[in-house]
Amino acid sequence: MKQVKKYHHKKVLVLGLAKSGVSAASLLHKLGAFVTVNDQKPLADNPEAQGLLEQGVTVICGEHPIELMDEGFELIVKNPGIPYHNPMIQRALELEIPIITEVELAYLVSEAPFIGITGTNGKTTTTTLVYEMLEMGEKAPLIAGNIGTVASGVAQEATSDNTIVIELSSFQLMGIESFKPRIAILTNLYEAHIDYHGNLNEYWKAKANITKYQTESDYFIVNADQEQVLEVAKQSHARIIPFSTKKVVENGAYVMDDAIWFMNEKIMDVNDIVLPGAHNQENILSAVAAAKLSGVDNDAIFRVLNSFRGVKHRLQYIADIDGRKFYNDSKATNILATSKALDAFKEPVVLLAGGLDRGNEFDELIPSFEHVKAVVTFGQTAEKIERVAREAGIKTIQRVDNVEKAVPVAFNLSNPGDVVLLSPACASWDQYKTFEVRGDIFTEAVHKLK
C-alpha cells in the first residue's frame, strides 16, 4: 500500500457506513486523518460503528445532524447510496467541501493497476469474465467493487504484481478526483437511476467519469454498436478499443464467421462458448479485449469461455433434468432484462415471471415471446403478464402462488429439449426480500426435481 500523505491531519467526515464506509474510515485513520463517522443506525445496533470507535474514530450515530457540516471538515467520503439531494450533501456543496467515494481512496493507495468496468447492463458478468480470464492466464488479479470486496480494502493488500478488476456504478463514479484505470470498459448505456441522477444526461455523464482521467497510455473499451457510448468515447484521451457483435471493427473485438476475433486474430469459435445470449456476446467481446490487452493467451480465454455458465442469478445455468435445461435469471427485475434473456434462446421456452407491481404494463415483452410455449405466473403482476402472454398468442398459461410452486408446474408443461427460464421482469419485494432469495428458492426447487 502506498503511504499517501494527502490526508494526514485532515479533518474528514465519512457519511454512511456499510462495508465501504467502514473500510474508508479505517483506511483514513491509518493515513493520519482526523476521522468522524456519521451513520443513521443507532450506536447500540451498529457493531461497525462500535468497532471504529474502538480504533479511535469519532462516531456520531442515530441521526444525520445538519449542523455537523459546519464543523470545518476538509473532505467528505460519501456512501455511494446517499443521493446528492440529501440535505447533508447539499450543505456540503454549499460549503464547497470536496466529496468523494471510497473508490478514490482505493486508487490513491493502490500499488496495483485497475481494470474498471461500468455500464447499465452486463457489468457483473463482464467483471467476472475479466477476472477469470486473468486468473486463468496467471496474471494475479484481485476482484473488487460491487461484485467483490470493498475496493479500499483490496487496494491495501494489492502489490504491483496484481491487477484489481473492479465493477463500478454511476454512484461510485460521481465521487472521483483522479481515479484512472489502466483499462476501462463501458458495456452499454440505457435509461436507469433517473431518481438518483435527476435526468438521463447526468446519468450518462457519471458513467463517462470512468475515462475522465485516462491518458493516451490507457485503454478505453467501448460498445461500437451504441451511438451514446461512442459519444462518450469521443471525450476520452485513452486509446479507444471498440467491440461489436454486428460488424468488423478495426483494432477491436468482434464476431466474424461464427468466431470471436480480436485485432484480426481469431480467438475461438462461438459454438465453443457455453454462456448463452446475444447480450452476453457483448460482455464476452469486451472481456476478451481486456484480457488480450493484459497479455492473456488464447488458450486461457478459451478455457474460461468453454466452461463459464454465468454469474449467479444472471441467466445462470442450473441443471439439465430429463432433457429440460433450467436457467435462473432472477436478477431480471425489469422488462429489458427479461427481453434479453428470452432473446438468448432459440429452443422452446417455458417462462416463469411475475413479482412486484410498479404500475407498468408488459407489452414490450411481446416481440420477445417468439419462442415462448408456456408461461407460469406468480406475484402481484401475474394478471398483467398473463394478458400480454395471451396477446402474444400463447395458449398455455398457469398461475401459481410462488416461485417454488412454479418449478414443478413448468417441468410438467415442458418437453425434452425445452428451456425452463425464471426471468421475472419484476422486482421480488412483493414476496421475497431480494432477487437473490428468489433465485435461490428457484434453484433449490429445481434440484428437488431430481
For the annotated binding site for ATP, the residues are 119-125
CA distance 52 to 36: 10
Identify whether the C-beta of residue 107 lies closer than 8 Å to the C-beta of residue 145. no
CA distance 203 to 400: 38
Q: In this structure, what is the dihedral angle of CA atoms 283, 285, 286, 291, given to the nearest 10 degrees? A: 120
Note the helical H segments in 253-361.
Answer: 278-293, 298-305, 335-343
* Residue 183 Rama label (left phi>0; alpha psi -120 to 50; beta): beta
What Å distances lie between residue 127 and 122, 132, 239, 297, 450, CA to CA? 8, 9, 20, 18, 32
The DSSP element (H or E) to which 420 belongs, if any, is strand 419-422
Rounded to 10°, the helix 200-208/227-234 angle is 50
Phi, psi values for residue 96, rounded to 5°: 60, 40
Rounded to 10°, the helix 278-293/123-136 angle is 40
CA distance 150 to 156: 10
For the annotated binding site, the residues are 119-125
- Please compute Rg for the chain using Cα positions: 23
Closest CA to 292 of 267, 259, 257: 267
Count the neighbouring beta carbons within 10 Å of the beta carbon of residue 307. 12
State the DSSP string of 87-148: HHHHHHHHTT--EE-HHHHHHHH-SS-EEEEE-SSSHHHHHHHHHHHHHHTT--EEEEETTS
Residue 92 in grid coordinates: 456540503
CA distance 277 to 339: 11
Encoded amino acid at 190, one letter? Y
CA distance 239 to 228: 18
Residue 392 in grid coordinates: 402474444
